[in-house]
Amino acid sequence: MASMRDIKRRRNSIASTQQITKAMKLVSTVKLQKTKARAERSKPYFDKMYEVVTSMLAKSGTIEHPYLKPQASAKKAVVLITSNRGLAGGYNSNVIKLITGSDMKREDLLLFTVGNKGKEYFSRRDYTIAKEYPEVIENPMLADAREICAEVLELYAKGEVGEIYVAYTYFKNTVVHEPTLLKLLPVEVDPSDIEAARSNSLMNYEPKEEEALDLIIPKYITSILYGALVESVASENGARMQAMDSATSNADEMIDKLTLQYNRARQGSITQELTEIIAGANATNER
């Protein structure tokens, strides 16, 4: 059995750690309120953007445009959004599993990593990191999404990659965050939507369809990427808040158990001392 000193030392150590987890929970809670409001304000626009663009392309017929035609390359560009820090439960590992658990081959992937955790994981496993953006996740801006969009679209237009994806965490609410792998290009349109569109009327563009799509597709990609960044930040803070709350509760349980052990050990020590005193007194009386 551990000594009273060892139990007390361990209990004090856990109490110190608990103070840190409480502080981190408070910080994450404050950050969550800000990032949650930002994500909720942005969500309707970006959801509608995705819906409108896919609907529009379903009604566009067969348009020859570099951003729309399938590319021969088997390479896939994936914008992977993780955090710069850990202690957020399964937040980072769940996003990483979207890649490792898919049928995508390592040699076919070009990763554009936002956040250090994803970059560190995949660089250790010899995946190709095309570009990294560690600072973007701290405070995502529309300009950041526009920069990433320009990088991946250029590769797609040149035929160096055949598909573009974004792997991020969808912010459903404070406690539910869903890892999501979304295909951005080529845009996936339901065949039934295409047939329905052809039976009615096709989309007309003004000015020319090529000029219009040169503006629409980059804006579409930028919008989706920015929405993914904002939702990922909110999800990260929500996940960290839950993880620190769980750690604080676990520390409470451990402190209670150690306090009980300490009291039992103290009681045993007192009992032993009393027994020795009584035994000594009896020995003296017998003399």
Going from the C-alpha of 145 to that of each of 148, 203, 228, 268, the distances in angstroms are 5, 28, 9, 65
How is residue 203 written in tokens?
């989309």
Residues 12, 78: Cα–Cα separation, whole Å: 46
Percentage of the chain beyond pLDDT 90 is: 56
- Taking only the tens place, the pLDDT of each residue in 62-105 is 666 777 777 788 999 999 999 999 989 899 999 999 999 999 99
201: which DSSP letter? -
Question: How high does pLDDT run on average in the chain?
Answer: 86
Helices (H), the chain: 4-58, 91-100, 116-123, 142-157, 191-199, 209-286
pTM: 0.84
Going from the C-alpha of 275 to that of each of 106, 253, 268, 278, 280, the distances in angstroms are 71, 33, 10, 5, 8
Residue 55 has pLDDT above 70, yes or no: yes
pLDDT for position 278: 74
Residues 93, 132: Cα–Cα separation, whole Å: 18
- Taking only the tens place, the pLDDT of each residue in 203-254 is 677 777 777 888 888 899 999 999 999 999 999 999 999 999 999 999 999 9
- Taking only the tens place, the pLDDT of each residue in 17-41 is 999 999 999 999 999 999 999 998 8
> How many CA atoms are closer than 13 Å to the CA of 281, on its beta-carbon side?
6
Domain span holding position 182: 21-242
Residue 274 in any domain: the answer is no
- Specify the CATH number for the domain of residue 157: 3.40.1380.10
Q: β-strand 177-185 against 163-171: which pairing, if any?
A: antiparallel
Confidence of residue 192 (pLDDT cuts 50, 70, 90): low
Residue 255 in any domain: the answer is no
Residues 96, 118: Cα–Cα separation, whole Å: 7
pLDDT for position 128: 94
- Please tell me the least confidently modeled range out of 132-141, 145-154, 209-218: 209-218
Instruction: Tell the burial category of 184 from Cβ atoms under 10 Å away from its Cβ (0-12, 13-18, 19+).
Output: buried
The answer to whether 109 touches 99, Cβ cutoff 8 Å, is: yes
Residue 272 in any domain: the answer is no
> Which amino acid is residue 87, in one-letter code?
L
Residues 282, 287: Cα–Cα separation, whole Å: 9
Residue 117 in any domain: the answer is yes
Residue 92 in any domain: the answer is yes
Residues 54-80 as b/e (b if ≥16 CB within 10 A, e otherwise) read eebbbbbeebeeebbeebebebbbbbb
Residue 7 in any domain: the answer is no
Residues 159, 205: Cα–Cα separation, whole Å: 25
Residue 201 has pLDDT above 90, yes or no: no
In angstroms and rounded to an integer, the radius of gyration of the C-alpha atoms of the chain is 29
pLDDT for position 93: 95
Residue 200 has pLDDT above 60, yes or no: no
108: which DSSP letter? G
**Domains identified in the chain, total number:** 1
